[in-house]
Homo-oligomer: A and B are copies of this chain.
Amino acid sequence: MAQQLPLVIVGTVAFDSIETPFGKADRVIGGAGTYGALAASHFTKGIGLVSVIGDDFPEESLAMMRSRGIDTEGIQRVAGQESFFWAGKYHLDMNSRDTLETKLNVLADFDPVLPQAYRSPRLLMLGNLTPSVQMRVLDQMESRPDLIAMDTMNFWMDIAWDALLETIARVDLLTINDEEARQLSGERSLLKAARKIAKMGPRYLIIKKGEHGALLFGDGEIFFAPALPLEEVCDPTGAGDSFAGGLMGYLASQPQITFEHLKQGILCGSALASCTVEGFGTSSLEAVTDEVLQDRLRVFDRLTRISLG
């Protein structure tokens, strides 16, 4: 039997054009799969990335991924078509943005077919995609991963409710933001929302609150991780994907999946997300060294530690 992949990530590999109060980046590489796999690669090698691209996606970007331990065999290249493209403009507060353009291109007909080696990974991360595509991947699993994580968004709650619930019922960890948790559960209180979402299936729930940190629910416990206070947010694109990728990469590097490891993984994900937002596109995430990462983890530790007797 071939060696088991520690982690498979399903998500977009794409181009983004980004405008923020600090500048512009035109057609830089992006996508949830790209950010997630780059973040995860800080902790583990042998990450299978499942995605779809067009003729236009540069071979050197794939080579860059491979040099970081990301397997690109799962990225289908569709001849004669263009890669998924998103253009957006962030408002001055950086918490909201307008989508200027979305071209689905190759994503419109994306039918993920997993290479054989990808069908029994230890961990699986389903990035934010149509629930039917996420389920298509689940259906190809030949053994149950130790943890299946799933990201989604309000858009699928609006247009694909039943398929979304069906997918959520099959995963162990759901990551959504606070407004999405409220929409999914119909509860204003996040405590009540978490309890309702647990009944939908996932053992663990992470509620992402951006600059306000993240909450982890599960095993009868709650954990709160702050976000790092930053000098400057240059470009928030990919922060959530870096967070999820960092978390999954950390978990893949650990022998067990426990609540305690999830807590530490959230701090790793937050640390990487804090790096991502300091530059445009994937530039600052690509530049992260182990030293930078360890420094940020130490800041987290100091940020919440009480040392009175």
**A: which residues have CB within 8 A of B?**
92-94, 188-192, 209, 212-213, 215, 221-226, 229-233, 260-261, 263-264, 267, 301-304, 306-308
By a CB distance below 8 angstroms, the chain B residues around A192 are 231-232
In the bound complex, CA of A252 to CA of B146 (Å): 51
By a CB distance below 8 angstroms, the chain B residues around A191 are 229-231
In the bound complex, CA of A212 to CA of B210 (Å): 11
Task: Report the minimal beta-carbon distance from A154 to chain B, rounded to whole angstroms.
Answer: 16
Of the candidates B93, B264, B308, the one whose C-beta lies within 8 Å of that of A188 is B93
Closest to A21 in B: B188
By a CB distance below 8 angstroms, the chain B residues around A222 are 229, 302-303
Closest to A229 in B: B191
In the bound complex, CA of A47 to CA of B94 (Å): 43
- The answer to whether residues A306 and B301 also contact, given A93-B188, A188-B94 and a CB cut-off of 8 A, is yes
| 10 A–B contacts from the bound complex (CB under 8 Å) | A189-B232, A215-B229, A221-B302, A222-B229, A222-B302, A226-B304, A261-B308, A263-B308, A264-B306, A264-B308
In the bound complex, CA of A94 to CA of B302 (Å): 31
Task: Report the minimal beta-carbon distance from A195 to chain B, rounded to whole angstroms.
Answer: 9
| Contact present for A303 and B223 (CB under 8 Å) | yes
By a CB distance below 8 angstroms, the chain B residues around A93 are 188
In the bound complex, CA of A188 to CA of B225 (Å): 22
Q: How many copies of this kind of chain does the complex include? A: 2
Closest to A224 in B: B226
In the bound complex, CA of A93 to CA of B188 (Å): 7
Task: Report the minimal beta-carbon distance from A259 to chain B, rounded to whole angstroms.
Answer: 10
| Contact present for A189 and B231 (CB under 8 Å) | yes
In the bound complex, CA of A297 to CA of B267 (Å): 22
In the bound complex, CA of A256 to CA of B264 (Å): 34
- The answer to whether residues A304 and B189 also contact, given A209-B212, A213-B212 and a CB cut-off of 8 A, is no
Closest to A92 in B: B188
| Contact present for B232 and A303 (CB under 8 Å) | no
In the bound complex, CA of A192 to CA of B225 (Å): 22
In the bound complex, CA of A302 to CA of B233 (Å): 30
In the bound complex, CA of A223 to CA of B260 (Å): 22
By a CB distance below 8 angstroms, the chain B residues around A307 are 260
Task: Report the minimal beta-carbon distance from A304 to chain B, rounded to whole angstroms.
Answer: 4
Most buried by B among A92, A224, A233, A302: A224
Task: Report the minimal beta-carbon distance from A94 to chain B, rounded to whole angstroms.
Answer: 7
Closest to A212 in B: B212
In the bound complex, CA of A118 to CA of B173 (Å): 56
By a CB distance below 8 angstroms, the chain B residues around A92 are 188
In the bound complex, CA of A67 to CA of B1 (Å): 76
Of the candidates B209, B231, B233, B304, the one whose C-beta lies within 8 Å of that of A224 is B304
By a CB distance below 8 angstroms, the chain B residues around A306 are 260, 263-264, 267, 301
